[in-house]
A and B are shown apart, each in its own frame.
Chain A
Amino acid sequence: MAGVTSINLVEHALLVSIQDDITDTEILELQDRLSTKISENRVDGVILDISALEIVDTFVGRVIAQLAGISRLLAADTYVVGMRPTVAVTLVELGMYLPEIRTALSLTHALAQLRRV
């Protein structure tokens, strides 16, 4: 496997860095691991860092929305951070506005938002 996506605990949030070469199987496995981790650690928030992601398709877009949905159900505020301009344009062009997810410019911004809550 190219690289297992890391899940780290930062302050009271879980930081998930998604790699550019992530495969479909990996991303599904990530859902599994993440949900377990959230309930184990009782975190306040989840931050999905997708700054390494250069290419998205509808599948990845949907999985991101699902990851956010799962975290929310487990009572963790979820932020997607570091989306690249090209990725944002692609998602909008695919009609995936993802209104249910929260976004932040960077990890710092997301942590600041989480602290505020």
Chain B
Amino acid sequence: MPQSATANILTVLDTDFKGIIEEWLGTQVKEGVKRSDLFSDAESRNQNRELLKAFSKGVRDGVTGEDFDFDDNQWDDLRAVLADVSRERVNRGVTPTEMATFVLALKTPLFKRLEAMLDSDHGVLIRDVMLVTRLVDAFAIYTNEIFILEREQIIDRQRQEMLELSTPVVELWDRVLTLPLIGTLDSARAQEVMENLLQTILERQAEVVIMDITGVGTVDTQVAQHLLRAAAAVRLMGAECIISGISPMIAQTMVQLGIDVGTVSTRSSIRTALSDALLTVGYVIKKTEGQ
């Protein structure tokens, strides 16, 4: 039989395209992965139709003999549709298992139709079922890969946002800046913080900078090193640096570690640091009469 390996599969796909979609949806419902709470029926049907259309195109052009490679150009359409669908599903909170089962549910309608068509020829049926299995499995694995990639991108973006968000330089008063440090201070963040701070000093012509470390959990030698380097750079720019928020615990650790803060002034609370800073730029905080 000079017939290609995919001929039967294609016939099935062409003759009952709509029926397959409906049954695919049905299987998804049975497996409990349809997520009607996240997608309307029309949306699901649309997604399935696009995917199946791209899938049949891939089967038609992308399978030679019994071999196929999802990275080939013939599968471009499917990959593009898949990327869209995955993105949509990730954003709405579909789990990886649901996503994989969603794709694997395509097997049942295809198997049923092949069985009906090749009832008499079991040899061909088994061959075709095996091919469909390989195709759909590859399809599902690829889906998961895209799914994870999509998630990684989200994580990456969030990390970047966190990095930016966590280093705000606040103008407390005319020529007084504060930098509330929160969390851990690794080299990458310290660098970001320092650059951000120095740039703001230049823009605002700040004379005093308060680095508040109330939110920094632990101060080890490395964190202290970063802090002192930032303080030194601030001084070189011509501004004064006060490190505030040194808790009794941190003070003890710093002394035990033998960290010498040199000429950098330190305060226990941002409150005292602020009144010092205001004094430096020529302001006094005064209580109003009669209060």
Tell me, rounded to whole Å, the shortest Cβ–Cβ distance linking A93 to chain B. 8
Instruction: Answer yes or no: B219 CB below 8 A from chain A CBs.
Output: no
Q: Which of B205, B229, B233, B263 has the most CB of A within 10 A?
A: B233
Are A109 and B199 in contact (CB-based, < 8 A)?
no
For window 81-104 of A, CB contacts with B under 8 Å fall at: 81-85, 87-89, 91-93, 97-99, 103-104
Interface size on B, residues (CB 8 A): 20
Q: Which one of A81, A85, A110 contacts B198 once the chains associate, using CB atoms below 8 Å?
A: A85
Instruction: Answer yes or no: A105 CB below 8 A from chain B CBs.
Output: yes
Are A83 and B236 in contact (CB-based, < 8 A)?
yes
Tell me, rounded to whole Å, the shortest Cβ–Cβ distance linking B287 to chain A. 28
Q: Which of B234, B235, B262 has the most CB of A within 10 A?
A: B235
Q: Which of B202, B207, B232, B236 has the most CB of A within 10 A?
A: B236
Bound form: Cα–Cα A104–B234 in Å = 10
Are A92 and B205 in contact (CB-based, < 8 A)?
no
Query: What are the residues of chain B within 8 A of A105 when measuring CB–CB?
Result: 201, 205-207, 237-239
Tell me, rounded to whole Å, the shortest Cβ–Cβ distance linking B262 to chain A. 7
Instruction: Answer yes or no: B194 CB below 8 A from chain A CBs.
Output: yes
Instruction: Answer yes or no: B195 CB below 8 A from chain A CBs.
Output: yes
Interface size on A, residues (CB 8 A): 22
Are A92 and B237 in contact (CB-based, < 8 A)?
no
* Further contacts, 17 of them, CB under 8 A, given A83-B238, A106-B238: A81-B238, A82-B238, A83-B236, A85-B198, A85-B237, A88-B234, A88-B237, A89-B194, A89-B195, A89-B198, A89-B233, A97-B232, A103-B238, A105-B239, A106-B205, A109-B207, A110-B238
Interface residues of B (CB under 8 A from A): 194-195, 198-199, 201-202, 205-207, 229, 232-239, 262-263
